[in-house]
């Protein structure tokens, strides 16, 4: 009997897991008006369905990016690295900035896991490779591709929230350093404004060695600024919507 129940439970979990991604995708997509979410789903699916889950390249998502292109939001674009929570607590509550995760594609896929399997037309949400299990996994390649496309349209004064509680706030292996900064273009961008988020336990400031590397990476024409800002000050701005964006730091 125990084995029987176990088999039923496993079968049900399996069914749920293979069928859960699309409804979530469509529901989140429909929060954005004026898009054909079924068409965007098809463009998404074609990237990884039937593929070896360790052999999905960034390029596989080109049709998806074309189906839901990023629109430039000059002076409001926010990049981040190792500051996911504080950034999104802020952008959720205030309209000052736009992160990748606030765009259609970013918000639809945030926190989700997916992959295909050779010889199958299904989408799987369990048994998929983890972020570092192999380089060309469907989830990692999506975030790499989407980040590249988001950085391609960065314009005007751009902000980046980096983590002042770690020794290397600008880490060469991060998406921000390895993909986004490399695509910042001075014909569209005026400046990069680093907000170095500090806590009591802060170990770095704007003179940090990795931030020197960041400056070197930037195009000649892009001005660089850095400001140390206490996390509590950012949280205060998140919870006080009457405070103007420009007065947050
Ligand atoms: P991050 P990034 N295992 O905080 O600059 C699982 O380092 O890279 O910032 N998931 C991982 C791993 C890992 N080893 N490494 C990264 N991730 C996932 C898009 C995880 O979901 C935006 F536009 C983590 O929260 C930002 O400017 C997320 O990647 C920039 O790229 C970020 O890792 C942030 O990427």
pLDDT over threshold 60, residue 15: no
**pLDDT-based confidence at residue 12 (cuts at 50, 70, 90):** low
Return the SS3 of 150.
Answer: helix
Question: Ligand 1 pocket, 121 CB below 6 A?
Answer: no
Give the integer Cα–Cα distance in Å for 197 and 160. Answer: 10
What percent of the chain has a predicted confidence (pLDDT) above 70?
Answer: 95
Taking only the tens place, the pLDDT of each residue in 145-176 is: 999 999 999 999 999 999 999 999 999 999 99
Q: What is the pLDDT of residue 38?
A: 98
Stretch 214-242: mean pLDDT: 96
Q: Residue with the nearest Cα to atom 9 of ligand 1?
A: 81
* pLDDT, average across residues 125-147: 97
**What does the pLDDT read at residue 19?**
55
Counting atoms of ligand 1 from 1, which one is nearest the CA of 174? 8
State if residue 178 touches ligand 1 by the CB under 6 angstroms criterion.
Answer: no
Does pLDDT of 220 surpass 60? yes
Return the ligand 1 atom nearest residue 179 CA.
31
Which residue's CA lies nearest to atom 30 of ligand 1? 176
In whole numbers, what is the pLDDT of the chain averaged over residues?
A: 94
2 has a pLDDT exceeding 80: no
In this predicted structure, what is the pLDDT of residue 60? 98
pLDDT for residue 201: 78
User: CA-to-CA distance for 23 and 87, rounded, in angstroms?
Assistant: 27
CA distances from 10 to 23, 51, 101 (A): 21, 24, 33
Confidence (pLDDT) at 8: 63
Interface confidence, given as ipTM, is: 0.93
Which of 223, 227, 224, 243 lies closest to 235 in space, CA to CA? 243
Q: What is the whole-number distance in angstroms between the Cα of residue 147 and the centre of ligand 1?
A: 10
> With a 6 A CB cut-off, is 101 part of the ligand 1 pocket?
no
Q: What is the DSSP string of 20-89?
A: SHHHHHHHHHTTSTT--HHHHHHHHHTTTTTS-TTB--GGGGHHHHHHSPPPP-TT-BEEEES-HHHHHH
CA–CA distance from 186 to each of 79, 151, 220 (Å)? 16, 12, 7
pLDDT tens track for 183-199: 999 999 999 999 999 99
How far apart, in whole angstroms, are the C-alpha atoms of residue 106 and residue 119?
Answer: 28
Indicate if ligand 1 lies below 6 Å from the C-beta of 100.
yes
The pLDDT tens digits for 34-93 are: 999 999 999 999 999 999 999 999 999 999 999 999 999 999 999 999 999 999 999 999
**Spacing, Cα 154 to ligand 1 middle (Å):** 18
**Centre of ligand 1 from the C-alpha of residue 81, in Å:** 7
Q: Are strands 189-198 and 156-163 parallel, antiparallel or unpaired?
A: parallel
Question: 194 is written with which tokens?
Answer: 């680093």
d(CA 244, CA 49): 46
For position 16, what pLDDT does the model report?
Answer: 47
Position 249 scores a pLDDT of 94
- Residue of 78, 99, 131 with the most ligand 1 atoms within 8 Å of its CB, for mutation: 131
Q: Tell me if 58 sits within 8 A of 145, measured CB to CB.
A: yes
Nearest CA to ligand 1 atom 21: 111
Residue 155 DSSP class: -
What's the average model confidence in pLDDT over 14-39? 86
- 176 Cβ closer than 6 Å to some ligand 1 atom: yes
Ligand 1 pocket: which of 83, 176, 180 to mutate (most atoms within 8 A of CB): 176
Would the CB of 184 count as within 6 Å of ligand 1?
A: no
């Amino acid at each position: 009997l125990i084995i029987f129940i176990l088999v039923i439970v496993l079968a049900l979990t399996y069914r749920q897991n293979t069928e859960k991604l699309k409804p979530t995708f469509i529901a989140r997509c429909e929060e954005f008006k004026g898009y054909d979410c079924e068409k965007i789903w098809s463009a998404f699916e074609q990237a990884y369905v039937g593929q070896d889950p360790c052999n999905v390249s960034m390029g596989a998502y080109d049709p998806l990016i074309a189906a839901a292109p990023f629109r430039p939001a000059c002076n409001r674009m926010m990049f981040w690295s190792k500051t996911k929570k504080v950034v999104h607590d802020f952008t959720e509550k205030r309209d000052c900035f736009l992160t990748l995760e606030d765009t259609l594609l970013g918000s639809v896929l945030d926190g989700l896991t997916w992959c295909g399997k050779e010889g199958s037309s299904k989408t799987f949400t369990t048994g998929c490779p983890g972020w570092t299990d192999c380089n060309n996994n469907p989830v990692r390649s999506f975030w790499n591709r989407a980040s590249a496309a988001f950085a391609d349209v960065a314009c005007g004064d751009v902000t980046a929230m980096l983590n002042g509680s770690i020794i290397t706030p600008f880490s060469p292996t991060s998406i921000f350093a390895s993909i986004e900064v490399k695509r910042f273009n001075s014909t569209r961008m005026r400046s990069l404004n680093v907000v170095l988020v500090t806590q009591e336990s802060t170990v770095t400031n704007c003179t940090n060695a990795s931030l020197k590397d960041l400056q070197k990476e930037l195009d000649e024409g892009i001005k660089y600024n850095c400001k140390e800002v206490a996390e509590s000050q950012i949280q205060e701005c998140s919870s006080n919507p009457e405070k103007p964006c420009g007065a947050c730091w």
